[in-house]
Amino acid sequence: MTQYLTALILCKVAPLLYNNHKINNSIGVTTMTQKLILISLDAVGDHDLELLLEHRAFRQLRAEGTMVRDVDSIFVTNTYPIHACIQTGVSPFRHGIIENDIQDPNKKHWPWRFHVRHLTAPTLPDRATRSGKTVCSIMFPVTGGANIRYNFPEIPGNVSLAKRIALTLRNGRPGFILSCMLRFMKQMLSAGGHADDMIVSIAERMIERKPFDLMMLHLLDVDSTKHRFGPYSDEAKDALLRTADRVDRILQAISSSPDASQYSVVVFSDHSCLPVHTAVHPNTMLKAADIHPDEAFFHSAHGCCFLRINTPEPSEKIVDFLSVFSSTPGVKRQLTDDEMHTSGADSQFYCGYAAEAGYVFGQFAKGQHGYTLDNDKYKTFYFAKGPSIAAGQELQGGSLLDICPLCCDILQLEQWPMEGHNTIF
Ligand SMILES: [Zn+2]
């Protein structure tokens, strides 16, 4: 009898507990547990939707879900600070990822802030994992060392392939990463500056075969193509359509899944991208003014730059330099106190400057971001679709900080103090 009961529990009851299809919310209504796929499309602007909405995937997102347009990005408009905002729901001065990398004139290689040890706020994947949910992350920024069951972190920066693989294994889940690499080796090696086809193949396989509650993934094709060829190039247009095809593959994989009705999808972009014709090199200008890097050094964040000085107040020579620098062609204005504060830059830098559209600080690229929010064609967007989200709804405004609370509500996670709001339901 005991054996029969044990077998009954294992066969009938345990799968129900494991799958956890139904849970009770706080007001006692039985609701279906939702799975969430959070898709980041790097460097796609709101204006790119004119093209994307002609594609089947985006027409489906618009018809079956809610589209939010003219959304503010978050300054500094670079990938790592913003993806940390998406994960935490708070501004960079609260979450600690104030810029992509840590620039140091005395070091040859500048490390990126890809590891969660740089974070100073709670995160969506960590809270989901702690509440018993299964999380999968594929190349999502700032997930190195994260508390994630299936973790394939993105390791950016100027490192060799061998070192990148070693760092990926050390900071992610080696079994998961190796099985993905072996299975999709060809796509990994043929990638042109991004791994998007491999990322989508991993996502499709996870949807087909593995139970998870939250999946986060980051597609980089548009960003790398816009940097190289410019945001309005034919190549960028092709990259946008390739990216729409990849979103379509994920939507199709969900439709083919037996639990398709449980899925919610949130698709967003972190920042737009502006065309560039001229690079300004602030550290070369410091050198020409006979100011040593140990005295003053500019951190170049593309559309803005920040000055680090090694004394509490700048010397007369630095003050004189800044008055000349601020009237240099391409230097638009000094950053406001609010921009310095919310970006967290005032914790490490004396002051900062915004570049004019068309100019970048540091290395030249035909397309760049990192600009202040007061630029034309610099808004972003997001879509959300799922059982708790109105179909065909179109909203405007708000900020990318509204995405983390939306994701918490979809997953029925208790929220921590955040700056944005779920404006969709
Ligand atoms: Zn980005």
Ligand 1 centroid to Cα of residue 223, in Å, is 7
Ligand 1 centroid to Cα of residue 317, in Å, is 36
Q: How confident is the model at residue 4 (pLDDT cuts 50, 70, 90)?
A: very low
H or E stretch at 236: helix 234-255
Mean pLDDT value across residues 262-280: 98
Q: How confident is the model at residue 193 (pLDDT cuts 50, 70, 90)?
A: confident
Q: How confident is the model at residue 191 (pLDDT cuts 50, 70, 90)?
A: low
CATH of 276-368, one of 3.10.129.10, 3.30.1360.110, 3.20.20.70, 3.40.50.300: 3.30.1360.110
Ligand 1 centroid to Cα of residue 274, in Å, is 12
pLDDT score recorded for residue 8: 35
User: Do 97 and 412 touch, CB atoms closer than 8 A?
Assistant: no
Task: Round the average pLDDT of the chain to a whole number and report it.
Answer: 92
Ligand 1 centroid to Cα of residue 122, in Å, is 21
The answer on pLDDT for 30 being more than 70 is no
How many other CB atoms are found less than 10 A from the CB of residue 360?
A: 29
pLDDT score recorded for residue 28: 33
pLDDT score recorded for residue 316: 96
Ligand 1 centroid to Cα of residue 36, in Å, is 21
Mean pLDDT value across residues 95-106: 96
Ligand 1 centroid to Cα of residue 80, in Å, is 7
Domain with CATH 3.40.720.10 in the chain: 33-273+378-410
Ligand 1 centroid to Cα of residue 41, in Å, is 8
What's the pLDDT tens digit per position in 44-89? 999 999 999 999 999 999 999 999 999 999 999 999 999 999 999 9
Q: How confident is the model at residue 31 (pLDDT cuts 50, 70, 90)?
A: low
The answer on pLDDT for 291 being more than 70 is yes
Ligand 1 centroid to Cα of residue 412, in Å, is 28
Query: Is the CATH number of domain 33-273+378-410 3.40.720.10?
Result: yes
Ligand 1 centroid to Cα of residue 424, in Å, is 24
Ligand 1 centroid to Cα of residue 361, in Å, is 17
pTM of the model: 0.91
Residue type, 377: K
* C-alpha to C-alpha distance for 123 and 271, rounded to whole angstroms: 20
* C-alpha to C-alpha distance for 246 and 155, rounded to whole angstroms: 21
User: Do 273 and 231 touch, CB atoms closer than 8 A?
Assistant: yes
Residues 6+ apart with CB under 8 A from 265: 36, 37, 39, 61, 65, 250, 251, 254, 383, 384, 385, 386
**Which residues in 232-253 are b (16+ Cβ under 10 Å) and which e?**
ebeebbebbeebbebbbebbeb
